Amino acid sequence: MYVCVCFRKYYDMAVTLDPHRVDGWYYRGQNHRLHGEVSSAFVDLRKAVSLEMPQRSLFQWDYLYDCIRYTELLKAAVRPVEGKGLFMEGLALEEISPSLSKHDH
């Protein structure tokens, strides 16, 4: 899949114009991840998972709020480290899935 860095300016505009909506944060973070910019991806995707679903009747992608943003955060957090296997950034359980953190373990 080809994802151009040039798209990022549009994601920047989305974040600026509507910072309370996940879409801009998610797509910019995904773009960073696909270009190997894991630190930047992690920042944007953490922001994406922290946002609540706004009350809107149009142009709402429910799955982005339900599960897809968490999957993308995990993709950015887990990465191979040469000679050591997989490495995972420090993530609180609440960041991966708020519903999981509400249960007693």
Residue 30 has pLDDT above 60, yes or no: yes
- 39-95 pLDDT tens trace: 899 899 999 989 887 776 556 666 676 778 888 888 887 766 666 665 566 554 445
Burial label for 64, CB within 10 Å (0-12, 13-18, 19+), is: middle
CA atoms of 104 and 88, how far apart (whole Å): 23
CA atoms of 48 and 67, how far apart (whole Å): 11
- 8-28 pLDDT tens trace: 999 999 999 999 988 899 999
Could you state, in order of their start, the residue ranges of all structural domains in the chain? Answer: 5-53+60-101
CATH number of 5-53+60-101: 1.25.40.10
CA atoms of 64 and 61, how far apart (whole Å): 6
Do the Cβ atoms of 40 and 31 come closer than 8 Å?
A: no
In which band, very low, low, confident or very high, does the pLDDT at 103 lie, cut at 50, 70 and 90? Answer: very low
Residue 6 has pLDDT above 60, yes or no: yes
